Structure 1
């Protein structure tokens, strides 16, 4: 059975002729998804060459040696299992036994379309980009490389999301207000629902609760600011909807699995 991955960070790199560091390690599961170009790598006992359609997977705190051979366009993705789902850490999982997955030939046309959408999503500002969309696209790519039937796995949930227009409105409102301390009960009332009804219908449409969606949006913005700025946690916290850096740090560590400082230092590609 397919086990989805939880996307914590996604960055698009266009035509790099070299890596900033030839060897590094990351505190999170990390994927280099190659759109174009070639690079060689060694991860623990595994070594090889990666090119278009390859997903090179590095476990946490593992030395990742790499060198670009031909100008590289790729997606840098950091992931984790969903809460309560540790199947990706099972020793039978491809993450443990393989350093690379490859999209098979019969899935390459779908792969190209997915890469185009991933690139577009990565280029948007956070307020425009939908975290759920990036989550779906990267899981779509993971499915392609795992050779699963995407239509069977994702069809039902996608139809629910399209059909429930009220929940689409709710999701847009949550993203707009994610960084303000707006009670879920207030949004529910604006939609003519109780908090329980909103939570139940939102989960049915998108697979997560409204509170989880808001937290994901806040974590995504915090990750972006940690990666792209030198702002302190106390400066980042109010921008992301938290009272101070202490509360942001506690939530960040709980949801992302590393401290904000560890996360910031890990983004050296």
Structure 2
């Protein structure tokens, strides 16, 4: 998930103001503008559009980010960096993501605005903002991308074939490079086309499917972690434990104990 791959390094709450301080930037880190009031136009590379309340606008590192206010604007500006030890496939989103759960989004904005009323400790405020409130924006984004992937109908017949194959075989031991070769394209082409079709990379999608199966087995069976790892396509229980803990936020044993009925 995005929350496991990117961490917050900077945050600014701005507005209301009539314009952006910088109308164009190329930053060396991924960034997000979460608009709370007003609206603005943006262009991120070839991607362009308008954003208003409920919209999160993402720009990867080293990409031109142009923006122009259409009215007085209030927004949250967040800087990220990729987790250094993470080398897996989870590209930073590009452009606008519209959040449907505006109640939760508004609640997160409210806490960000008013956290100073709850605690006078600057370090405590910063910790809550970086560890919980801003990652919640990434979580809402992840949920929107998953919903989009579920509903999206792509015209890319080759990616439809790949999507169906992954759903059926995600828990088997297979090579993503070999799968790309079987499709007649390179690994990088496969990743780009799958991302364009479904809003998530194929490796990240496989991880999601495997962890959902792992959660099911943890809750519905008494199988050992080693057995569950094997059934989900992982080489060992210790490796599954590392992935599970990183993505879910609990280790498998704690997850089983907490959620099993």
Length-normalised TM-score, structure 1: 0.48
Structure number with greater Rg is 2
Length-normalised TM-score, structure 2: 0.49
